[in-house]
Structure 1
C-alpha cells in the first residue's frame, strides 16, 4: 500500500488529485530529469583531467542542474499545494536551504577547481585524501605552463601559485644537505624516463618515487606517509610495483653519463670502425639510445646495445687524421629542472620528460698508400764525384723515418738494393715532397744504386724503392820513358823502344796498351804526335789488366832516307769501369846513318 503524507481526511483525496494533475506532473518530472542529468554530468567530469578547464565547466554545470532540478520539484509542490498547508513554512525553509546549499556547492566547486588549476592543474594520477600539505589531495603529475611537473616539497601548503623560470640543478639542496647529488640524479632519471607519459598508474608511481628520493624519511614508499598515499591511490598495488621498478632501473641507469669514442686505423679506400659508448654513473650501459655519427659528410644513426655501445663504419678517402663526432640527444637528464613558486608557501615542482644530449669525438686515422721514387743525378760518374740525386715521397702522412742507402760497388749493371751497402743515413720527415739525396762520394769504381725506404705509421704504409744503377768509373793514367841505358841516338836498322807505366786501376780489367811512333822530324823541337806523321807499321801493342810497367818492344827504321827525329805516344784503351788514358807526346829518338 502506498504511503501518503499525514493529511487530514479531507485533504487526502486532494493530494492524490493534485499529484496526478496534468499541470503539476510535467514540472515534477522535468525537475527530476534535470537533477538526473546533473548527476550524469558530474559522473562524466570525474573521468576528465583533474583541474582541466573541461572539468571545471562540467562540475559547474552538474552542480547547477542538480540544484535547479531539486528546487523545481519543491517549488511545484508548493505552487500546487501538494504539500500540506500545515507544513508549508517547513517546505519553504527546505527550499531555501536547498538553494543555499546548491549555491555554496557551485561556489566551492569553482573555487576548488580554480585553486587546483592555479597551483598546477592535476594532469595524470589519482585523487587522494585532501589536507593542508602539498602531498595531499592528489598523487600524480600536474601541468604548469604547458610543462608536466611533480611537486617535490611535501610539507609545503596545498595552495595556488604561479611559478618562475626553470633552473637546472645537479644537487638539489647542495653538498651538505639532503638529498645527495646521487639521489638528485636518480630522481631526475625517474622524472625524465617515466614522468611525461600520461598514465595514471605511472604518474602516481613517479610522484611517490620523487618524494621517496628527494624527501625520504616517512615519504619513502615503504614508510608511513609514502605507503599511505599509495594505498589511497587507485590501483595501489600497481602503483607500488611501478615505483619499485623505477627505483631499481634508475638506480642502475642514472647519470651523469661518461662517454667514450674510438676508431680503427684504416688504409685509404677501406672502412674505419667507429665505436661510441655511454655508461651510467654506476657503469651500466644505456641501451636503445639513438646516436648520430658524423664523418666526411655522412651522418648515420645507430642505437646502443645492452652494453651502451653503438657502432658504425665510414669509408676513408683521404690519408691523415680527421675527426669523427657522435651525439646522443635522447639521454635522460641527470640534473633536476626545478621551478620555484611565487607563493612561498607552495611547493617547488620538478619538470618531467627532460632529455639531455652528450657528445664525443675521436680522430680517424687513415693510412695512405705511400710511394717513393728515386731520380739519379747522372747515369755515369767518375770516382771522386758525388753520387747525387733526389727522392720523391708521396701519399704519406705524419712523422716517418727515411733511410737512404747506397748499394755497391757491383761489377755489372745487373744490380739490386741488396748487400753490400756502401753507405747509409737516416732522417725524419713529416711531409711529402722531393728531397735531395746525400752527397756521398763513391770510393772506387763499380755500379751503384740508391735505395730509399720510408717507414710506415698508423697513417701511412711503408714504402721502399731501388733506383737505377749508376756507373762509377776510375780514371787510369799512362806514363812513358826511355828504357834505362838506352841511348837517344840510334842508327838506321837499330831497334829502339819505350817503357810504359800504367796506374789508376782499382780493379782488374782487361785493356789494350798501344804505343805509336811519329816521325821523322828534321828538328827535335818540331816533333809532334800528329796523325800525318804516324808510322803505322811501327805500332807496339800489349794487353794489360792492371797497374804496372810494360816494355812495349823495339821498332827500327830501315831506310837511310827516313833518318831524323822520332817520338813515342802510348794510349790505354777504355774499359767498362776503368777509363783509358793517353800519355804525353814524348820520348825522342834520333835515327842517323
Structure 2
C-alpha cells in the first residue's frame, strides 16, 4: 500500500482537445452501489481519451452525452460554489495525485475532491461522503490517503513560485545557480526536476547547459555553469511537474449531467535572472612629472580599460628609497588620494607632495565592478631631489701667520653621500663689505653625508678681512647649494 509515495511520477501527456460526444469510461477505483447520481456506482477516476478525470458535481445525473473541451478555471461559479481556497486545494490534489493508476489512490482522490467541491453532504465524516468510502474495496486505506491529501493541500495548495539566485563568477570559474521552489504557502517543495540553461552563456555556442537537478528537502537545487567569458549572462531555470492551482474542467455537453476535472496535469514554471561574469580590467600608470624637487606636487596618470562603469580608485605614493632596486609598494605611503573613475579612460590623481628627496613609486588600485575584478599596479617611478643646505661657522679673529679653519654644517642630503664639499677662503680685504669677490683658495673634502665637520686649514699671512664659503655640488637625489658668504659667522678678521 505504498502507492501514495509514488504520486510524484511524471505528468501525463497534455490532454487532447475533445468534442462534445466524448464519453468517459471507468479507469481506476472501486464499484460501489448506484444511487442514480454521478457519485454512485463508482469511487475513483474515469478516463476520457487518454486523460484521467474525476467527477466534481456529484449530485447531478451520470454523464451519458459527453463533455465539452477542457477549460481552465479557478472559480467554480454558482451560488453554492466552493471558495477559491477549496478550489485550489482540489486542483492541487488532482494535479499531484490524480495521474497515477491505482484503485486505492484514485478512490482517495475522488473522495478528497468531493470533500472540497461537492458540498457538505459529500465531505468525509458526512453520510454520503462516508458511505462512498465505506463501500470501496479498502475503506481504511482510502480514508487515510484522502486525509493525507487534504492535509497536504491545506499546507501547499496555491500558486507555486520559482526564484533563481545566481552568484557572480570570475571569468574561467563557474556560476553557481540556486533554484528555490516554494508552494502556495511559501513552504519548500522537494522532488521537482530542474533544468538550468544560459542562452547567452558566454561561450562560442549559443546556449550553456542544460544542467539537470532535483529540488531537495529545502526546496532548493544547486547547479553550476561554466563561465569562460566575461560579461553579463542570463540564467534560465525550468521547473517541471509543478501542481496546478486551477482546475481543468470538462463541462457536461448536456445540462444537469455531471462535469469532471482532469487529473495528473502538471505545469512547467520558468524563471530567470541576470548575473555578471567578472573579467579583468587593464591598468597602466605614468608619473607626471617623473622628476621633481622635494616640496613640489606629484601626480600619477592612470589609464583604465574595463566595462565602462563608474568605480572607485586610490593612488598612493611610496618612498623614499635610496635606489630604484630598493623601491617597492608594500610599505606605508607618504600620501594617498582618491581617484574617481567615471568610465574607461585616463585620469590624473590629486597632487601628493613629497617633502624628502629619494626614489618613489606610485601604486594605483582600481575597484572591481559588477563585471570586472579589481586591479592594482605598482610602478611609475619618481625621482625627488632634496634641497641640500650648507653653512659655515668661522673664527671671528686671527693673527697674521695663523693657521685657520671653519666649521662646516651639511644637511638635506637624502640617504647620505658621499659628497665632495668645497671650502673656499676669500681675502684679504680692507673692509668686510668687499668680501666674497676676487681671488680665493679652495680645499675639497669627501664627506659621507649630513653632519658638521672641520674644514682643512689655511694660513693667513696678511692683515685684513677674510670670507668663508662652502659649497656642495648637485647630486642624483639633491640640488647643489652654497653657504651665505659675507654674513655674520662667515668672516674672519686678521689683525
Q: TM-score, normalised by structure 1?
A: 0.58
Alignment of 1:10-89 (within 5 A): none
Assess if the C-alpha contact under 8 Å between 2:293 and 2:384 holds in 1.
yes
Indicate whether 1:350 and 2:254 are aligned. no
CA deviations 1:89-137 (Å, max 9, x no partner) are xxxxxxxxxxxxxxxxxxxxxxxxxxx9755343443444334433233
- CA drift of 1:397 comes to 8.9
1:168 aligns with 2:80: no
Q: Partners of 1:399 and 1:161 in 2: how far apart?
A: 70
CA displacement at 1:344 relative to structure 2: 2.4
Instruction: State the distance in 2 between where 1:572 and 1:127 align.
Output: 120
Alignment-derived partner of residue 292 in structure 2: 381
Unaligned runs of 5+ in 1: 1-115, 479-501, 516-536, 555-569, 583-593
Q: In structure 2, what is the equivalent of residue 136 of structure 1?
A: 40
Deviations 1:208-256 (A, max 9, x none): 2211111241111332112222344445555444433433444444332
Q: CA deviation at 1:300?
A: 0.7
Q: Deviations over 1:297-328 (max 9, x none)?
A: 12111012233222222233345553422111
Give the SS at the match of 2:210: coil
Q: Counterparts of 1:310 and 1:242 in 2: how far apart (Å)?
A: 29
Aligned to 1:190, what secondary structure does the other structure show? Answer: helix
Equivalent-residue separation in structure 2 for 1:298 and 1:430 (angstroms): 36
**Helix, strand or coil: the match of 2:339?**
strand
User: Do the aligned partners of residues 398 and 263 (structure 1) sit closer, same or farther apart at CA in structure 2, a change above 3 Å counting?
Assistant: farther
1:152 equivalenced with 2:63 (yes/no): no
Number of residues paired by the alignment?
A: 417
Name 1:467's counterpart in structure 2.
379
Q: Counterpart in 2 of 1:193?
A: 96
Structure 1 counterpart SS, 2:233: strand
Which protein has greater RCO, CA pairs closer than 8 Å, 6+ apart? 2
Q: 1:440/1:155 Cα in 2 relative to 1: closer, same or farther (>3 Å)?
A: same
For 1:183 and 1:170, locate their aligned partners in 2 and report how far apart those are by CA, in whole Å.
10
Q: Of Structure 1 and Structure 2, which has the larger fraction of its residues in helix? A: 1
What is the match of residue 322 of structure 1? 233
Structure 2 CA distance for partners of 1:266 and 1:154, relative to 1, 3 Å: same
Maintained 8 Å contact 2:336/2:352: no
Report the CA distance between 1:371 and its aligned residue. Answer: 6.5
Q: How far apart, in 2, do the equivalents of 1:221 and 1:384 lie?
A: 94
- Residue 333 (structure 1) aligns with: 244
Q: Tell me how far apart the structure 2 counterparts of residues 204 and 459 of structure 1 sit (CA, whole Å).
A: 56
The whole-number CA distance in structure 2 between the counterparts of 1:571 and 1:258 is: 85
Output the CA distance in 2 between the equivalents of 1:370 and 1:177: 67
Looking at structure 2, the residues matched to 241 and 474 of structure 1 have their Cα atoms a distance apart, in angstroms, of 94
**Structure 1 CA distance for aligned equivalents of residues 313 and 223 of structure 2:** 36
* Residues in 1 aligned to 2:308 and 2:330: alpha-carbon distance in whole angstroms: 27
CA radius of gyration, larger in:
1
Match of 1:270 in 2: 173
User: Residue 448 in 1 paired to residue 367 in 2?
Assistant: no
CA–CA separation in structure 2 for the residues paired with 1:317 and 1:422:
41
| Residue matched to 1:258 | 161
| Residue 573 (1) aligns with residue 468 (2) | no
Aligned partner of 1:424 among 333, 336, 354: 336
Rounded to whole Å, the distance in 1 between the matches of 2:93 and 2:145 is: 11
CA contact (8 A) 1:291 1:329 kept: yes
1:145-176 Cα deviation digits (max 9, x unpaired)? 654322211222334344334332334349x9
RMSD: 4.7
Q: 2:321 & 2:103 partners in 1: Cα distance?
A: 93
- Compared CA separation, residues 396 and 463, structure 1 to 2 (3 A): farther
More strand by share: 2
| Distance in structure 1 (CA, Å) of the matches to 2:164 and 2:233 | 14
